[in-house]
Amino acid sequence: MTTRTYDRYPMAWLLPVLVPVLLFTLYPVAQVLYTSLHQVIVIMPVEPFVGLENYRQVVLSPGFREALVNSVVFALVTAPLTIIIGFGVARLLLMRFFGRGLLRAVVILPWVLPGAISAVVWMWILHPSWGILNLGLYHLGIIDRYIPWLTDPQLARLSVVLAFVWTQFPFASILLMAALGGIDRGLYEAALVDGANAWQRFRFITFPSIKPVVVVLAIYQSLVALTSYDLVYALTAGGPGTATTLLSFQIWKESFSMMNFGTGSAVGFILVILSLAFMAAIIKALPAAIIRSG
Amino acid sequence: MRRLLVHLAALLLFLLCAGPIGLSLFASVVPDQAIFSFPPNWFGYSATSDNYRYIFTGRIPATYLTAGANRNMISDAARQVPAGMLNSMLVALGVMAVNIILGAPAAYAFARLRFRGQTATFLAIVMSRLVPAVALITPFYLLIQAMQLLGTKAALIIVHSVLTLPFTVLILTIFFRRIPRDIEDAALLDGCSRTQVFLRIVLPLSRTSIFATGIFAFILSYAEFLFALVLSGDAANRPLSVVMAALARNTDVSWGLLNASVCLAVIPTVALIGIVWRFVVEALLERGAEFS
């Protein structure tokens, strides 16, 4: 029986989720927009309307531009890296080997561990003077001087990227496993008969089949990178200097350390607008089957 | 040869994922001077549970009293870990309950009912999670303040539920769509209402998926940091992620203690991860798909 009629009272099922989710999404966005158009400094009793003045201040400040560049670079580096590593892992997890069940469960560990704990663990590995990595490399005779993993600007960026990708690749792997598993086996057999080599099989069968998932992942991972905060913050606190200060942390800086909620909200609203663009892209790229209802 | 390479890659991946936690476990049961000894003498010291005993009882380990330990520091910040875990688990249990009680009916409506605005509301709920929470932290604070819930566990349960419900609704909608329609249609023809079909057929059929999806919400809530930091208030209510973040930046904590804290803190996540993989991830992937 496929009814084409509409069900009555659908909202009774939905409202308990829809109301809180929308309340905690729309109100905060509206509030951030409002604050960004006013001068809101904690000690000042009045909050005059200042139009786009906060945005002007923010866009002209070197701190914002630096954070924006850092965030964009961070996203452009981590998203492809996450997908490439995620693909390799997905491919591996679909093969047969001893202990696969255990490994599959262990693989999602980096993704679900509390960010603060990942940060502690990576801190313990990367700490410039007490970290286990320097200790090991030094004792093995590979390096003769400790490497400043978190205190040299370039190395700190690298460390933060690696730690972040470590926390993100399992999610990419899961989606790519699903996509890879859905490919028709017959295509590969036909390709083998036609004498296609491994690269050609990837280029003409595997990649076209998983492309929709790769596109969605690329957008999603860029968005996650653009808005991430806890791991990077706990590892480097945005330093050394401003080398690893991301946009998300810039909001925090403007709002809570400079106590200027107007400019902090302006940065926040810019981030919201950016993420809305990414969301529109995701909705466009999603396979219709996932969105289609009923 | 190929089989050997596959197993080697698998071993490498295992070390990459579990290695850091394994190292923590090791470092939590040997004295700091063993780790920093030169030439390396990692196994020359006997294993000790002193770090764990300190966290639970406050008894300072003997090794911290001897000279020569590289970081002979100790801080009672580590002693907040058990209370933090309890706080976080209570909040996470509440979040899990809310997700199951509210998320399952909503997901069922998306999977089986037909109504105007279905796609729009579904996308609104699922996509809401992509609005960067970090940009909205101040308004969240103001909302919770207006509800007079600042510093309570209820505040975190509400906020974490709002953050996890989109996942729960998405996952459960996929699960409910997979249930063969025939049984439900037969029951509807026999005069059951939608509510009866949901309560008597769908819920019993998918109780494992629903429970496992709830566990996933538990894990996400247990891991959340930003809102936990801003909304939790005084020390007595502080959730684990906040305690851990404070420890990470506290230079007065020895590696042994820090790692013992890490190992305690990850117990719930590690214990539950198998359930999530088996009944959520594995069930979402089409079964039997395999590359040889």
Higher pLDDT: A100 or B65? It is: A100
CA gap B274, B292 in Å, rounded: 24
Q: Which of A89, A180, A294 sits opposite B118 (nearest CB)?
A: A294
> In this predicted structure, what is the pLDDT of residue B91?
95
> In this predicted structure, what is the pLDDT of residue A1?
45
Domain residues for the domain of A89 are: 67-291
What is the distance in angstroms between the Cα of B208 and the nearest Cα belonging to chain A? 18
Q: Is B42 on the interface with A (CB under 8 A)?
A: no
Structural domain includes residue A73: yes
For residue A281 the two structure tokens come to: 């892209």
- Is the CB of B23 less than 8 angstroms away from the CB of A132? yes
Closest-CA residue to A221 (of A111, A62, A69, A90): A111
> In this predicted structure, what is the pLDDT of residue B64?
65
CA gap B12, B167 in Å, rounded: 31
Q: In the structure, what pLDDT confidence band is assigned to residue B62 with cuts at 50, 70 and 90?
A: low
Higher pLDDT: A78 or B31? It is: A78
> In this predicted structure, what is the pLDDT of residue B88?
94
Residues A188-224 pLDDT 10s: 889 889 888 888 888 888 888 888 888 888 888 988 8
What is the average per-residue pLDDT within A59-68?
86
Over 60: is that where the pLDDT of B292 sits? no
CA gap A107, A168 in Å, rounded: 11
Amino acid at A196: A
Over 70: is that where the pLDDT of B67 sits? no
| 3-state secondary structure at position A38 | strand
Q: In the structure, what pLDDT confidence band is assigned to residue B63 with cuts at 50, 70 and 90?
A: low
CA gap B178, B11 in Å, rounded: 35
Structural domain includes residue A206: yes
For residue B143 the two structure tokens come to: 């909302």
Smallest CA–CA distance from A219 into chain B, residue: B130
CA gap A119, A107 in Å, rounded: 18
Average pLDDT of chain B to the nearest whole number: 84
Total domains, chain A: 1
Over 80: is that where the pLDDT of A252 sits? no
CA gap A131, B27 in Å, rounded: 12
For residue A177 the two structure tokens come to: 């496993």
Amino acid at A142: I
Smallest CA–CA distance from B292 into chain A, residue: A95
157-196 of B, contacting A, C-beta below 8 A: 158-159, 161-162, 165-166, 169, 181, 185, 188-189, 194
Size of the A and B interface in Cβ pairs below 8 Å: 280
- Is the CB of A116 less than 8 angstroms away from the CB of B161? no
Question: For testing the chain B interface, which of A25, A125, A166 should be mutated: the one with the most B CBs within 10 Å?
Answer: A25
> In this predicted structure, what is the pLDDT of residue A88?
93
Question: Where does chain B have alpha helices with state H?
Answer: 2-29, 32-35, 50-57, 81-98, 104-112, 118-128, 137-146, 153-178, 181-189, 194-197, 203-205, 207-223, 226-231, 240-248, 255-265, 267-276, 282-284
In percent, the amount of chain A with pLDDT more than 90 equals 15
What is the average per-residue pLDDT within B106-111?
92
> In this predicted structure, what is the pLDDT of residue A136?
80
Q: Which of A89, A123, A227 sits opposite B134 (nearest CB)?
A: A227
Structural domain includes residue A51: no
CA gap A276, A259 in Å, rounded: 27
Average pLDDT of chain A to the nearest whole number: 84
A252 burial (CB, 10 Å; 0-12 / 13-18 / 19+) is buried
Smallest CA–CA distance from A226 into chain B, residue: B132
Residues B190-234 pLDDT 10s: 888 888 889 998 999 899 989 999 999 999 999 988 888 888 877
Smallest CA–CA distance from B217 into chain A, residue: A112
Question: Where does chain A have alpha helices with state H?
Answer: 11-36, 53-60, 62-93, 100-107, 109-112, 115-126, 132-139, 153-181, 185-193, 198-201, 207-227, 230-236, 247-252, 261-285, 288-291
> In this predicted structure, what is the pLDDT of residue B90?
95
Domains, chain B, with CATH or none: 79-284 (1.10.3720.10)
Structural domain includes residue A30: no
- Is the CB of A114 less than 8 angstroms away from the CB of B225? yes
Structural domain includes residue A82: yes
Q: What is the CATH number of the domain that holds A105?
A: 1.10.3720.10
Q: In the structure, what pLDDT confidence band is assigned to residue B105 with cuts at 50, 70 and 90?
A: very high
81-110 of B, contacting A, C-beta below 8 A: 102-103, 105-106, 108-110
Closest-CA residue to B243 (of B69, B71, B86, B37): B86
In percent, the amount of chain A with pLDDT more than 70 equals 95
CA gap A105, B272 in Å, rounded: 10
Residues B255-275 pLDDT 10s: 788 888 889 999 999 899 888
This prediction's pTM: 0.86
Cβ neighbours of B244 in A, within 8 Å: 114, 116-117, 120
Amino acid at B57: T
Q: Is B257 on the interface with A (CB under 8 A)?
A: no
Smallest CA–CA distance from B26 into chain A, residue: A132
For residue A19 the two structure tokens come to: 């109301």
What is the distance in angstroms between the Cα of A268 and the nearest Cα belonging to chain B? 4
